[in-house]
A and B are shown apart, each in its own frame.
Chain A
Amino acid sequence: MIAALFFYLFAAVAVASAVMVISARNPVHSVLFLILCFFNAAGLFVLMGAEFLAMILVVVYVGAVAVLFLFVVMMLDVDFVELRQGMLNYLPVGATIGLIVLVELVLAAGSWVIDPKSVATHAAPTPTDITNTEALGRVLYTDFIFYFEAAGLVLLVAMIGAIVLTLRHKQGVKRQDISTQVARNPANAVEVIKVKSGQGI
């Protein structure tokens, strides 16, 4: 009974905040509603018994990705009048993408209404004797280790690419070199000169 109550609470807040993400005028409000939506999705994961996924969703998406989102959005110089002018031009493109996503969702969800046997092919049974952290670990690091490492390599290449594209060695910039600073001593840093009065150096 309590689980059902919380399910409806999380689901309702998640849907409502998802609507607010696209309807809020202020982009910062949009990101904050997105965060609320993530939270409720995490709550739904907990209700399904996938507590590891729920925590990872909060750590990765809310704790890191959304912070960067917020960071970028806050720095934007948003002109609301200009934003609304482009609305009609982009409407057909946006509507098409939305329609395609909707059709795909209906197909995915409808597949087990049409053919109930197909559920077995894409839903592995949840193991009951181990925690879901362990179950996920076995799938990722034992059964499909090659795919996991390949995905990691792709990300590494993307990261190196981003660094190569933006790295510039500027000339004439003074940089702090901690080891030389620490290695300084009076012998190579200070020069004592005897100056005769009235002559200068």
Chain B
Amino acid sequence: MTAIPPSKTRKSPAVAIVAGLLVLALIACVVLLIGSLMQSGVIAAFVAWMYETTLGTVVRYFLESVLLIIALLIVVAYLILVDRKVWAAVQMRRGPNVVGPWGLFQSFADLIKFALKEQIIPDGANKGIFLIAPLVTSVLAIAAWAVVPVADGWAIADINVGILYLFALSSLGVYGVIMGGWASNSKYPFLSALRSAAQMVSYEVSIGFVIITVLLCAGSLNITEIVRTQQTGLGTMLGLPNSFLDWYFLPLFPMFIIFFVSALAETNRPPFDLVEAESELVAGFMVEYSATGYLLFMLGEYVAITLMCAMTTILFLGGWLPIIDVAVLNWVPGVVWFMIKLLFVFFMFAMVKAIVPRYRYDQLMRLGWKVFLPISLFWVALTAGVLVAFGWAP
């Protein structure tokens, strides 16, 4: 056995201490600077400028969007890790555990790896569309987050028809897949694109009906309003304090399940990942993609999955509302409750992926058109009837 030679580039402890002190000094300087700025009222003036002038409003929306995108991408990076860890735990493996402590930096390592690889464009590909397709997927998925209220009043654009905007953008996700599959000019991607188009259009129908049912109960298309109406409900009718019993998942339980399953199909998650069924279609519409193109597709897919989790949270699990509205629990900020619920729904997504085998294509279509569509249509009629009959309609 040969002894491993000591690394020659190892830094001495003194260097590390000096570097640490420098960083601390820098942080102290920044804190002092911010403090003095606040003292002189510069920051207050800047905030006022952002709310009062036209240019300031543009700058404010830009800064808000950048903040949201950064937060979203970090959350998505760790959700991918959660996904892989849950999947591994179900199969009694360890999952990614090499890059960083407990594999915490795995997603960032993957990001750098994808960004540094060579982008290959097939000879027969339709170049423009081939390059636009991954952008379409990821940009649409990220754009939908503009209307999501992660806490009370925290949505960037609190528009009147917020839920329709979400529905519209999530139904556009199919274009990235179709364009990518067609432009690759290859058999498997094309077959995959056709499958995906049919699948996503089918499940949008039942998602639409589920959203309509919730809208009937909430009486508003505004997302913030939909969450606020869940403060009162079944629980408060029985005289209990505001709690999880008021959320829509309880009175609309069948629709909650249908929405969850349709969300799996809409985002091409297993067991409905027929778009990239690797035993039949190699990697589906992504066969010809490499490097950044592939990265953007994966990013768009995971952002869309996170969006579906957020939609489930908003429509059925009371958004940013605490589980029980009592002293200790309602001190927790709304964004924390939102993240906890989003994580719970994502955990369910990951468990489904790990446990359920893939559907056959005709079974998928049967489930969408012959099972979910009639049930959701019936529930829309039933909900409307009950609301009118008991005078609960908002």
The interface of chain A, by Cβ under 8 A from chain B, is 1-2, 26, 28-29, 32, 35, 51-52, 55-56, 58-59, 62-64, 67-68, 70-71, 74, 131-133, 176, 178
Evaluate contact between A176 and B161: CB separation under 8 angstroms.
Answer: no
Shortest distance from the beta carbon of A54 to any chain B beta carbon, whole Å? 8
Indicate if B204 sits at the interface (CB-CB under 8 A): yes
Indicate if B165 sits at the interface (CB-CB under 8 A): yes
User: Taking A63-B204, A67-B197, A71-B197 as contacts, is the C-beta distance between A51 and B159 under 8 angstroms?
Assistant: yes
Shortest distance from the beta carbon of A49 to any chain B beta carbon, whole Å? 10
When A and B form their complex, what is the total count of cross-chain residue pairs whose Cβ atoms lie within 8 Å?
67
CB-nearest residue of chain A to B167? A59
In the assembled complex, which residues on chain B have CB atoms less than 8 Å from the CB atom of A178? 366
Indicate if B118 sits at the interface (CB-CB under 8 A): no
- Alpha-carbon distance A35/B193, docked complex (angstroms): 18
In the assembled complex, which residues on chain B have CB atoms less than 8 Å from the CB atom of A51? 159-161
In the assembled complex, which residues on chain B have CB atoms less than 8 Å from the CB atom of A64? 171, 201, 204
The interface of chain B, by Cβ under 8 A from chain A, is 54, 58, 126, 129, 159-161, 164-165, 167-169, 171-172, 174-175, 178-179, 182, 190, 193-194, 197-198, 201, 204, 208, 221, 362, 366
- Alpha-carbon distance A2/B54, docked complex (angstroms): 9
A176 interface neighbour in B194, B204, B362, Cβ under 8 Å: B362
User: Taking A133-B160, A133-B161, A133-B221 as contacts, is the C-beta distance between A58 and B362 under 8 angstroms?
Assistant: no
- Alpha-carbon distance A131/B190, docked complex (angstroms): 43
Evaluate contact between A59 and B168: CB separation under 8 angstroms.
Answer: yes
User: Taking A56-B164, A59-B168, A64-B204 as contacts, is the C-beta distance between A70 and B54 under 8 angstroms?
Assistant: no
Known: A52-B221, A55-B164. 6 other contacts (CB 8 A): A2-B54, A62-B168, A70-B197, A71-B194, A74-B182, A74-B190
Evaluate contact between B182 and A28: CB separation under 8 angstroms.
Answer: yes
User: Taking A1-B54, A70-B197, A176-B362 as contacts, is the C-beta distance between A62 and B172 under 8 angstroms?
Assistant: yes
Shortest distance from the beta carbon of A166 to any chain B beta carbon, whole Å? 16
Shortest distance from the beta carbon of A74 to any chain B beta carbon, whole Å? 5
Report 14 cross-chain contacts, Cβ distance below 8 Å, ordered by A residue: A2-B58, A32-B179, A35-B175, A55-B165, A58-B169, A62-B172, A63-B174, A64-B204, A67-B174, A67-B175, A67-B178, A68-B201, A71-B178, A131-B160
In the assembled complex, which residues on chain B have CB atoms less than 8 Å from the CB atom of A26? 126
In the assembled complex, which residues on chain A have CB atoms less than 8 Å from the CB atom of B204? 63-64
- Alpha-carbon distance A55/B159, docked complex (angstroms): 11
- Alpha-carbon distance A70/B175, docked complex (angstroms): 9
CB-nearest residue of chain B to A59? B168
- Alpha-carbon distance A52/B169, docked complex (angstroms): 14
In the assembled complex, which residues on chain B have CB atoms less than 8 Å from the CB atom of A35? 175
In the assembled complex, which residues on chain A have CB atoms less than 8 Å from the CB atom of B54? 1-2
Shortest distance from the beta carbon of B386 to any chain A beta carbon, whole Å? 19
Shortest distance from the beta carbon of B266 to any chain A beta carbon, whole Å? 12
- Alpha-carbon distance A56/B164, docked complex (angstroms): 8
CB-nearest residue of chain B to A131? B160
Shortest distance from the beta carbon of A78 to any chain B beta carbon, whole Å? 13
Q: 5 shortest A-B CB distances, which residue pairs?
A: A63-B171, A55-B164, A58-B168, A59-B168, A51-B161
In the assembled complex, which residues on chain A have CB atoms less than 8 Å from the CB atom of B190? 74
In the assembled complex, which residues on chain B have CB atoms less than 8 Å from the CB atom of A29? 129
